[in-house]
Amino acid sequence: MTKVISHRGANKLAPQNTIPAFAKALEFGIDGFENDVHLTKDGRLVICHNYDIDQTSNGTGLIQDLTFDELRKYDFGSYFSEDFAGTKIPALEEFLDLCKGISVINIEIKSPKQPNTDIARKVINMVKDFNLFDNLIISSFDEKILLECKEVDPKTRTGMLYAPDEGPYEEIFEDKIAFAKKYDIQAYHPFAMFVDEEYIQECHDIGVRVNPWTVNPEDAMRTLRDWGCDGVITDYPDVAVKVMREGK
């Protein structure tokens, strides 16, 4: 069955990438979460889409320049709705506390702006501490991050993200099968428009899963389900859960 992977939590109903957004998605019976992880100045793992907090909080600045305690003083809810006033930036461990019974824990790591942050190692070790490693898939637009994951633990599942003009799309367009083998990836996470039934079949033939994003129209969810797509990363987990369970 095609898995429903909630993009930044239920981000249309609660502020994206926060505990309320993840908790709301859980209410719908999702299979998986997608989120974005960054390192603070003092080496803590926090969840936020952007490198900075300007658009999703009442603060400003790059996460890498702020300590965890400094970040926690800001309000990551009011910009979305006063109903969420006081919502904090989540530490990765707070999110992992919610992940029991979740079969796809998709953590995206964006290319750090500073080299040698060791973020992949820190994410993998924390997920292992929570005994959730078997459900982890680390995705990135940066194939070097995915290679780092394999260096930390070759059993880490990795997903290659790409989009028009983003990620190593030219090399993937040239030969996505060769690319998958070269980087030992377990899944492609393509921009949804790149996927058709043949694409999914070709990936499945070599044991690679397909989890496109961002799959929001209901008819697209249904089509991908019928093509045997492994997962859909969506902003509408409530709709997707209904579509994937139709006739079951």
89 vs 48: CA distance, rounded Å: 7
Q: Please identify, using beta-carbon distances, which residue of 161 and 172 lies nearer to ligand G3P.
A: 161
* Catalytic residue list contains 49: yes
Tokens (6 digits) for 126: 């924390």
Residues that bind ligand G3P (CB under 6 A): 7, 34, 36, 49, 108, 139, 161, 189, 213, 233
**Binding of residue 230 to Ca ion (CB under 5 A):** no
Q: Please identify, using beta-carbon distances, which residue of 70 and 142 lies nearer to ligand G3P.
A: 142
Nearest to 102 by CA among 214, 23, 185, 16: 23
Q: Residue 139: which of ligand G3P, Ca ion, none does it interact with, CB under 5 to 8 A by kind? A: ligand G3P
The minimum distance between CB 139 and ligand G3P, in angstroms, equals: 5
* Residue 164: Cβ-neighbour burial (10 angstroms; 0-12, 13-18, 19+): exposed
Token look-up 């880490």 returns 156
The minimum distance between CB 241 and ligand G3P, in angstroms, equals: 18
Task: Tell which positions 88-147 bind Ca ion, by CB under 5 A.
Answer: 108
Helices 218-226 and 237-245 pack at an angle, to 10 degrees, of 40
Q: Please identify, using beta-carbon distances, which residue of 3 and 189 lies nearer to ligand G3P.
A: 189
94 vs 134: CA distance, rounded Å: 19
Tokens (6 digits) for 96: 């992992």
Phi-psi region of 169 (alpha: psi -120 to 50; beta: other; left: phi over 0): alpha
2 vs 208: CA distance, rounded Å: 14
The minimum distance between CB 237 and ligand G3P, in angstroms, equals: 14
Q: Residue 233: which of Ca ion, ligand G3P, none does it interact with, CB under 5 to 8 A by kind? A: ligand G3P
* Catalytic residue list contains 189: no
The minimum distance between CB 190 and ligand G3P, in angstroms, equals: 9
Residues in contact with Ca ion by CB under 5 A are 36, 108
Catalytic residues: 7, 49
